[in-house]
Amino acid sequence: MSDSIKRCVVTGLGLVCALGDDAASCAASAFSGKSGIKDVESFDTANCYSHKGAEVALTDEQLCSEKYDRTTLLCIKAAGEALADSGIDLGNEDRTKIGVILGTCIGGAASIDKYYTDSFEGRPADKEDIKRMPASAIANNVAYHFGLDGITANIVNACAAGTMSLAGACDMIRAGKADVFVAGGCDSFSSLAYAGFHALHALSEDVCSPFNHSNGITIGEGSGVLIIESYEHAAARGAKIYCDVLGAGVSSDAYHITAPRPDGEGQMSAIRRAAFNSGVDLSEIDYINAHGTGTSKNDEAEFLSLRTLFGNRPDLAVSSTKSMNGHCLGAAGSIEAVLTIEAMNRGEVPPTTGYSSDDIEALREKSGGIGFVANDKQAKDVKLAMSNSFAFGGNNASIIFSKEPREIKNVRNTDPIYITGIGEVTGTKAEGASDFRADVSPEVFKQHEVKTAFLRKLDRFSELVLLSGIVALEDAGIKVDDTNADDIGIVIGTSDGPITEIVNFQKLVIEKGIENGSAFMFPNTVYNAAGGYLSIFTGIKGYNITVANGFQAGLQSVMNACEAIRRGDENVMLANGTDELTDIEAELYKNLGFTGNGKDTGVVLGEGSVTLILESSKAAAERGSKKYAQVAGYSIARHSAPYDEIGGTDEALVRAIEEAVSDAGIRAGDIKTVYGFANGIKSLDDVLDRAVSRIWKDGIEVKNVRSESGEARAASAALSLAKAAKEMDASEGDYSIAVSFGAGGIYSAIVLKKA
């Protein structure tokens, strides 16, 4: 093992937001203090108390000629600019080594609005809009547009998602899973988000005023994309290098679903983790692009965090660029990353705008001596910069960039990782029913001491996640307390997320008006709310991300959890796969021809949630944990295909299996059982059959969990691995493998070994 970790460098920048149509024009506006916030034009806000927004001037057709959701179109625009800026010649690259990882909050909200508005107003709803709804579609669509065959992922941790995507790209490169990533965030202006923050009374009546009047946010839209490469890959092609990405930190507040901890503990944890992982001292940081939303609670908590960690440092420059381009939700962190890198290269810091002379005097009192940059840019040699993002669900992320290369000690843990707990919540098929549904009645939760007051806050998706998480912790014998809360993390994997709550909220807005959104429903429309509730209930304060990436996300969550342990972020991880099934989802899948009388009549839908507890060998030994199995190897592979293509080629599945087998250090012949994904879709079943036949020419036993619980998407993928782990003791062989698929030609594989 090398003494230092692999360098990750930024070689391309792309940006579109209310400040401009490309990175250069956006930076020119931001550094000159020009605001892109204006009166909202996308929809009628006449009956709202706020009318301000930060919208992109370009139409969908101007962004891209292809038909995608606006969130995807914004990202394609920024990604195209970033790829061109990087100088990468895709024709001469191994495209299986170029991945796409993107952060988003609201995903395809514009398409959800269009689909149900058409229906409500009596027009035929376009079934193509259904394919554009899920956040899972975005990275796959961007990858397909550019013909990229590497790992894809959609990080859906609300306003921290853009920052987490950049960190995730570096993690995958350092783990040897890719050479290059198209990484960033994207979100479009939507009636859903506007109505939600309006219902929470969190919008500013005027232009938002971060760290100043702090009377609310201004919603924006856009996309920021970075091309992140291993230094070796960038150097080999003679690429220009903007900066190094040193390290990041992710944490959970375990406090409240929408409000930050008043004591700033979670924010400070993320910042400290970022500094530790970057090998820097906080005293070395020259500039911080703060989260700075403009709400009183967020600004107060961030003021406290910065004062506590950085003390009286007038040499530390801090600003919030949201004062000019609004809060772009899942795109915020990556947009701010682009502007932070621009600050490094320009030798100047962008301001927070909107201060009067009296405001500046008040700022001096609130800042505790830290050099907040107000109104005008500030000349400064920025060698080390930090960007912070704090989100709904109590999720916090911080990332550090360096103008110059720095060696960071390699602490990667190569010891075995074990599955030590399993929580399964699966559906059953009632008499006369056409699908499998789970029991999440209050009586079930009472058995695990979940109080009614807490339970009534949750939507169905969150109920499923919470229940399987609790059962898994109980099965592993883990009690979370102050001694271990920071050493435990969470990864949630899903295909569709809380789509029922999203649709119900959107339909309410369509029928009753933007001014009548529900403050009770809105927090549960974000994909990461379920992970937030699990953190709040259990007290887990460590790493916490949610990945939306099709049916295979239940296995991808396990891989991400293993990487968190390998990096030394946590000792214990909860890896989860969850998807709900309600009448709304059943209707959407039927309209796609996925079930019912369409082309895939063999599919029976289900729902569920499966959580696996993963522990480092050291943690398992110290606790005396029972061990179901060891996670021996894993891989994700894809063959670029449209998001609505379910079957596709078996090349990607073969590659995923072969790479997972190689990662485990074994031969395919050592594996005795495959836990597959046959679900009644003939084209997909054929892919599995062909791949298995190619690798195991003499035949192998293939097992499937879907006949017992239906096609529960991410939950089925995780359930396959759980069943494989449980059956390891009774199996004749030492190894088994679980495989799963996702729309857009992505496949995942995990090899288990007897403990």
Q: Among residues 159, 186, 243, 328, which one is catalytic?
A: 159
Pairing status of strand 735-742 against strand 671-675: parallel
DSSP 755: -
Instruction: Tell me the C-alpha to C-alpha distance, in Å, between residue 75 and each of 162, 186, 271, 615.
Output: 12, 6, 27, 36
Measured in degrees and rounded to the nearest 5, phi and psi for residue 203 equal: -85, 145
Instruction: Tell me the C-alpha to C-alpha distance, in Å, between residue 404 and each of 31, 167, 383, 422, 502.
Output: 22, 18, 7, 45, 44
DSSP 6: P
Per-residue tokens: 695: 């690798």
Q: Distance (Å, rounded) from C-alpha 311 to C-alpha 705?
A: 55
To which residue do tokens 């059956």 refer?
727
Q: Distance (Å, rounded) from C-alpha 513 to C-alpha 525?
A: 17
327 is catalytic: yes
26 is catalytic: no
Q: Among residues 145, 198, 213, 291, which one is catalytic?
A: 291
**Rounded to 5 degrees, what angle do the CA atoms 645, 643, 696 make?**
50
Cα four-point dihedral sign 200, 205, 208, 211 = negative
Q: Distance (Å, rounded) from C-alpha 680 to C-alpha 657?
A: 22
Per-residue tokens: 716: 């089925």
> CB–CB of 426/712 below 8 Å?
yes
Q: Chain-centre distance of CA 400, in angstroms?
A: 19
Nearest to 717 by CA among 682, 663, 676: 676
Type of residue at 455: L
Q: Distance (Å, rounded) from C-alpha 497 to C-alpha 713?
A: 11
Q: Among residues 145, 198, 213, 327, which one is catalytic?
A: 327
Nearest to 548 by CA among 110, 67, 112, 165: 165
> CB–CB of 545/707 below 8 Å?
no
Residues with catalytic function: 159, 291, 327
